[in-house]
Amino acid sequence: MKKQSVAGVLAVLLALGLGACSKAASGAGSPSAKETTTAATSSSTEQAGASSVPNPVVQVDSPDAFKDQLGLTLQPDDTATGQSYQIIGGTLAQAEFTQDGAQITARVQKASAFEDISGIYDSYGDPKQVNVGDVDVRIYVVDGQSGYAAWYNEAAGVVGSVAQASGASVESLTDLATFYVNQESKGL
């Protein structure tokens, strides 16, 4: 059911984008869209008036490309399967994979302050705050369903997020966030 919803949302965004492009070409209207990402699928565009173009999403072969091209560390746990890696907009590293039966999307980007880079705009209500070492992590979750964690790791100079498409809980998202915050701090 969730995959059908995601497919429907992406189809609507694609139709709106194509319609906006034709309007921009004829001089009428200006396209704009927000980034919409779920743990299973991501699509990203920038708001830039009539000249709006999608952020380039570049597939890369391994997380080594994140280190080489962006100076970032984002390596899924050894238990992950079905990994795919992307660089979005030339600055954001994204890894999509399955772990413990759940679809996971992890992201990191260099930053000097907190910014939610999850690309998730569902209303999860107020976040639950947890601490991972010296890093405050905000967890948004519908228990047993989906959710995500977002943080700013000042020591590493990065923001990060990790989303879980199913079976999410405060505990599972805390565990995922802890894994990536510790990885960033060590610069693995």
Give the Cα separation of 86 and 111 in Å (integer).
18
Closest CA to 174 of 134, 124, 131, 118: 131
Facing residues of 87 across strands?
Answer: 58, 93
Residues 106, 8, 164: CA angle, nearest 5 degrees: 25
- Half-sphere exposure of residue 154, counting CA atoms within 13 Å on the CB side? 5
Q: Which residue has the tokens 């080594």?
A: 64
Nearest in space to 108 (alpha carbons), one of 141, 64, 152: 152
Cβ-proximal residues to 14 (8 Å cutoff; 6+ apart), any chain = none
The one-digit pLDDT tens for each residue of the chain (188 residues) are 555 555 554 554 455 454 444 434 433 332 233 333 333 333 333 333 445 556 799 999 999 999 999 989 898 989 999 999 999 999 999 999 999 899 999 999 999 999 999 988 888 888 999 998 889 999 999 888 899 999 999 988 999 999 999 999 999 999 999 999 888 766 64
Angle at 127 between CA 124 and CA 128, to 5 degrees: 130
Residue carrying the six token digits 């907009």: 89
Question: Which three-class secondary structure state does DSSP give residue 58?
Answer: strand
pLDDT at residue number 175: 93
What is the pLDDT, as a whole number, of residue 155?
A: 87
State both tokens at 21. 């492009």
CATH class given for the domain over 57-186: alpha beta
For tokens 């047993």, the residue is 144
Domain positions in the chain are 2-43, 57-186
Cβ pair 173, 145 in contact under 8 A: no
- Using alpha carbons, select from 115, 178, 182, 179 the residue that is nearest to residue 155: 182
- Tokens for 10? 């992406």
